[in-house]
């Protein structure tokens, strides 16, 4: 017997969609009295449209969830390079009438079961207006860390005191959601952006405070400091219900490729705990000079490796990276031949399955939040190489606040000229692969904690129960 309906509005992009679906699945696993509809934005504001076959893939993932694809809107007349975040937020705002129409005509009118919440994600805070117009409660689904959420919620307060964006020369920031003072060099680029980025995020932080509750893909054992910073009041209730991971893997993330089978076969042939995996998320890519340094660094480290190398879009194109048809285009001469017995270079990798493999011992990662949760789940220590979005501050939190990652760099930024040299890469890889001390022990403990958190009686299970109670009350 269905008691309540929820409508989820994830931002475009496969990462947002997958995370929102995982949340919906977990909610239904715990209480199947919900009817859940996900509004899918097929047209991403950059890159190709989300693979249209996802529509059919989506329905196979979980038949309990209803999907409605929104019609396409005209992208905003803004330069995406000035502030990608502002661009995406404006793009989402343009969907407000479509979201309202879908909720009224395809959800409310189709069933007498009451709609108890519109659940919006990071770039969709403007949809809170739609919820208000329709007299529905709004909840935020935040697919990143509780600490980053705390930073966003702090921005309106800071705005009243300081009034302008952060600068690289600012003193370390003392903010209650981080245990240590935060250097300006690890702040997300959007907070240093004068071209609409900072204002956009300050506004998101303000809007988030209007929500009835904020759901975070994290767990209290990982982020106890950040979670306790919310207890002082002044913010909506925060529910840490994670980690929400696509543990079994499905066809949604990444290109369909028989290369995945080859990757897993190659890993099967490697000794236990001998391989370092390098992977930089859906957007991460390097210019040629940096690719060469990584190649040299890996050779110098002497460790086995599995390396996902993605091809940057053409200069001036606001698009996602693609796979190389020939890696020799970008790798140093003879590299593939010299390393053929110890390494494999690939395109998009089945990351969750790779991290689960017994051959993997270390993970050079861009520190996207999903990647962090996935590596902790499998107890694989990260070597930090942040690239964009909030990844620098994630890396900082992992290394400085929590001591559960090995530092390579904390302040690399994808669109700058900085170059991490082969020596440093080799040293950091060796450190992660040869160290069996404190970091690895802490990661192992965190892996166990993450699995317990989502089990019946665990902290995230309980938090989800509280959220359900709130939604049904
Ligand atoms: N991912 C993958 N293969 C790749 C690159 C990424 O499966 O080659 C998956 C990864 O497992 C994670 C998601 O894509 O679930 C990336 O999310 P994250 O938050 O780490 O980074 P983002 O892509 O948002 O920068």
Interatomic CA distance for residues 266 and 260, integer angstroms:
10
**Active-site choice (29, 79, 121, 388):** 121
Domain assignment present for residue 458? The answer is yes
pLDDT at 57: 60
* End-to-end Cα, the chain, rounded Å: 17
pLDDT at 174: 96
Measured from the Cβ of residue 316, the count of other Cβ atoms closer than 10 Å reads 7
Q: Are residues 431 and 462 in the same domain?
A: no
Interatomic CA distance for residues 103 and 81, integer angstroms:
33
pLDDT at 318: 76
Mark residue 210 as left, alpha or beta (left: phi above 0; alpha: psi -120 to 50; beta: remaining).
alpha
| Local confidence band at 70 (pLDDT 50, 70, 90 cut-offs) | very high
| Local confidence band at 44 (pLDDT 50, 70, 90 cut-offs) | low
Is the pLDDT at 50 greater than 60, yes or no?
no
Sign of CA dihedral 123, 127, 131, 132: positive
Q: Are residues 298 and 359 in the same domain?
A: yes
Give the distance (Å) from ligand 1 centre to CA of residue 282: 5
Residue range 290-313, pLDDT digits in tens:
999 999 999 999 999 999 999 999
Mark residue 381 as left, alpha or beta (left: phi above 0; alpha: psi -120 to 50; beta: remaining).
beta
* Contact between residue 32 and residue 3 where contact means Cβ atoms under 8 Å apart: no
Based on the structure, what is the number of domains in the chain? 2
Residue 342 bridge partners (DSSP):
none
- Please give the mean pLDDT across all residues of the chain: 92
The fraction of the chain above a pLDDT of 90, given in percent, is 81
75 is written with which tokens? 């992208």
Q: Are residues 464 and 395 in the same domain?
A: no
Q: What is the CATH number of the domain that holds 290?
A: 3.40.50.2000
pTM, rounded to two decimals: 0.95
Q: Is 7 helix (H, G, I), strand (E, B) or coil?
A: strand
Interatomic CA distance for residues 328 and 212, integer angstroms:
53
- How does DSSP assign 436-448, residue by residue? -SHHHHHHHHHHH
Is the pLDDT at 80 greater than 80, yes or no?
yes
Answer yes or no: is the C-beta of 371 below 6 A from any ligand 1 atom.
yes
Residue range 148-200, pLDDT digits in tens:
999 999 999 999 899 999 999 999 999 999 999 999 999 999 999 999 999 99
Nearest to 144 by CA among 112, 177, 170, 168: 177
Domain assignment present for residue 19? The answer is yes
Active site residue 16: yes
Interatomic CA distance for residues 208 and 206, integer angstroms:
6
Answer yes or no: is the C-beta of 308 below 6 A from any ligand 1 atom.
yes
Domain assignment present for residue 247? The answer is no
Domain assignment present for residue 427? The answer is yes
User: Which of 45-49, 80-84, 144-148 has the lowest average pLDDT?
Assistant: 45-49
Q: Are residues 278 and 324 in the same domain?
A: yes
Domain assignment present for residue 248? The answer is no
Active site residue 121: yes
Q: Are residues 144 and 161 in the same domain?
A: yes
Q: Mean pLDDT across the stretch 308-321?
A: 88
Residue 304 bridge partners (DSSP):
275
Q: Are residues 327 and 207 in the same domain?
A: no
Q: Are residues 52 and 31 in the same domain?
A: yes
Domain assignment present for residue 249? The answer is no
Domain assignment present for residue 276? The answer is yes
pLDDT at 284: 92
473 vs 266, higher pLDDT: 266
Nearest to 145 by CA among 247, 243, 278, 11: 243
Answer yes or no: is the C-beta of 347 below 6 A from any ligand 1 atom.
no
| Local confidence band at 53 (pLDDT 50, 70, 90 cut-offs) | very low
Interatomic CA distance for residues 307 and 124, integer angstroms:
34
**Active-site choice (16, 225, 260, 303):** 16
Q: Are residues 430 and 459 in the same domain?
A: no
Interatomic CA distance for residues 231 and 141, integer angstroms:
19
Range of the domain at 333: 258-449
DSSP 471: H
251 vs 437, higher pLDDT: 437
pLDDT at 43: 67
Q: Are residues 156 and 295 in the same domain?
A: no
pLDDT at 52: 43
Nearest to 363 by CA among 352, 321, 438, 402: 352
Q: To test ligand 1's pocket by mutation, which of 13, 14, 15 has the most ligand atoms within 8 angstroms of CB?
A: 15
Interatomic CA distance for residues 447 and 457, integer angstroms:
17
30 vs 82, higher pLDDT: 30
Domain assignment present for residue 251? The answer is no
Answer yes or no: is the C-beta of 321 below 6 A from any ligand 1 atom.
no
Mark residue 101 as left, alpha or beta (left: phi above 0; alpha: psi -120 to 50; beta: remaining).
alpha
Q: Mean pLDDT across the stretch 101-122?
A: 96
Is the pLDDT at 279 greater than 80, yes or no?
yes
The fraction of the chain above a pLDDT of 70, given in percent, is 94
User: Which of 34-43, 173-182, 197-206, 215-224 has the lowest average pLDDT?
Assistant: 34-43
Q: Are residues 286 and 212 in the same domain?
A: no
79 vs 290, higher pLDDT: 290
Nearest to 273 by CA among 471, 469, 440: 440
Residue corresponding to tokens 């140093």: 332
Q: Are residues 213 and 339 in the same domain?
A: no
pLDDT at 158: 94
Interatomic CA distance for residues 257 and 451, integer angstroms:
30
Q: Are residues 301 and 428 in the same domain?
A: yes
Answer yes or no: is the C-beta of 394 below 6 A from any ligand 1 atom.
no
Residue range 369-423, pLDDT digits in tens:
999 999 999 999 999 999 999 999 999 999 999 999 999 999 999 878 889 999 9
* Contact between residue 301 and residue 425 where contact means Cβ atoms under 8 Å apart: yes
| Local confidence band at 250 (pLDDT 50, 70, 90 cut-offs) | low
Buried b (16+ CB within 10 A) or exposed e, 276-304: bbbbbbbbbbbeeebbbbbbbbbbebebb
* Contact between residue 318 and residue 81 where contact means Cβ atoms under 8 Å apart: yes
């Amino acid at each position: 017997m269905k008691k309540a309906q929820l409508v989820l509005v994830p931002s475009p992009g496969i990462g947002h969609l997958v995370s929102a679906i995982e949340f919906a699945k977990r909610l239904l696993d715990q209480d199947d009295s919900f009817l859940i509809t996900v509004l899918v934005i097929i047209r991403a504001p950059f890159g190709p449209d989300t693979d249209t076959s996802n529509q059919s893939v989506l329905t196979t993932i979980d038949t309990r969830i209803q999907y409605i694809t929104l019609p396409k809107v005209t992208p905003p007349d803004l330069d995406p390079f000035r502030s990608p975040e502002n661009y995406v937020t404006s793009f989402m705002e343009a969907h407000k009438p479509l979201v309202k129409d879908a909720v009224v005509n395809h959800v409310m009118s189709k069933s007498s079961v009451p709609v108890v919440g519109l659940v919006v994600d990071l770039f969709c805070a403007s949809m809170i207006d739609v919820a208000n117009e329709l007299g529905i409660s709004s909840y935020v689904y935040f697919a990143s860390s509780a600490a980053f959420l705390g930073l966003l919620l702090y921005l309106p307060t800071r705005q009243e005191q300081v009034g302008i964006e952060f600068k690289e020369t600012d003193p370390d920031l003392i903010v209650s959601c981080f245990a240590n003072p935060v250097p300006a060099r690890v702040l997300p680029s959007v907070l240093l952006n004068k071209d609409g980025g900072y204002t956009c995020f300050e506004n998101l932080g303000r809007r988030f405070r209007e929500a009835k509750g904020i759901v975070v893909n994290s767990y209290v054992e990982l982020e106890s400091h950040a979670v306790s910073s919310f207890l002082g009041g002044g913010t909506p209730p925060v529910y840490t219900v994670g980690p929400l991971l696509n543990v079994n893997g499905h066809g949604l993330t990444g290109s369909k490729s028989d290369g995945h089978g080859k990757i897993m076969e190659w890993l099967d042939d490697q000794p236990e705990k001998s391989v370092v995996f390098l992977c930089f998320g859906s957007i991460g890519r390097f210019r040629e000079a940096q690719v060469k340094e990584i190649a040299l660094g890996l050779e110098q480290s002497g460790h086995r490796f599995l390396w996902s190398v993605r091809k940057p879009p053409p200069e001036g194109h606001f698009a996602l990276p693609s796979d190389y048809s020939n890696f020799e285009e970008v790798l140093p001469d003879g590299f593939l031949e010299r390393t053929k017995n110890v390494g494999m270079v690939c395109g998009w990798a089945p990351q969750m399955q790779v991290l689960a493999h017994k051959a993997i011992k270390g993970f050079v990662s861009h520190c996207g939040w999903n990647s962090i949760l996935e590596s902790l789940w499998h107890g694989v220590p990260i070597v930090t190489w942040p690239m964009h979005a909030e990844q620098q501050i994630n890396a900082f939190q992992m290394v400085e606040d929590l001591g559960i990652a090995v530092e390579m760099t904390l302040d690399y930024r994808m669109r700058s000229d900085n170059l991490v040299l082969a020596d440093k890469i080799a040293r950091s890889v060796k450190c992660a692969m040869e160290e069996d001390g404190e970091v690895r022990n802490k990661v192992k403990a965190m892996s166990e904690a993450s699995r317990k958190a989502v089990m019946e009686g665990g902290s995230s299970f309980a938090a989800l129960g509280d959220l359900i109670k709130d939604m049904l009350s």
